[in-house]
Amino acid sequence: MNRSAGLEASHVLHEKLSSTRVGLRWERILRTHEHEVDTLMAVHTDLRVHVSEALQLLADAGRQCRALDDATIAKATTVLDDLQRLGGFELKHAVVGLREELALARGRSLDDVLAG
């Protein structure tokens, strides 16, 4: 994915996340671990690719108000697997919670997931 598509996907997701309590919590988790995730993405190109692909799929699902399908869940799970493998203790702890929420999101729209 090119840089402008990645920025657009990030913007779409930010707009979705910033309007709900669940989304704001997810953004807080990201901000808390942003430096570590950025550092890991700089070192591990596979993680950077996985994050980019997951952001695009999540943004597409959000734009189209469609259910999170198996491909989207699988790509997001790949990112969580990478972070679990590469991250420090606090990031790994955050990943556990996000993994549980992601499992419950299958088949629901992003709006429904964010509504709680």
Per-residue pLDDT of the chain (116 residues; tens, 9 = 90+): 556 666 788 888 888 888 899 999 999 999 999 999 999 999 999 999 999 999 999 999 988 888 999 999 999 999 999 999 999 999 999 999 999 999 889 899 998 998 87
- φ/ψ of 107, rounded to 5, equals 85, 0
pLDDT for 7 equals 77
Total residues belonging to the chain: 116
Neighbours of 72 (CB within 10 A): 22
Let me know the angle formed at the C-alpha of 84 by 79 and 88, rounded to the nearest 5 degrees.
125
pLDDT for 51 equals 95
pLDDT for 33 equals 97
Give the closest residue to 14 by CA, choosing from 33, 30, 32, 34.
30
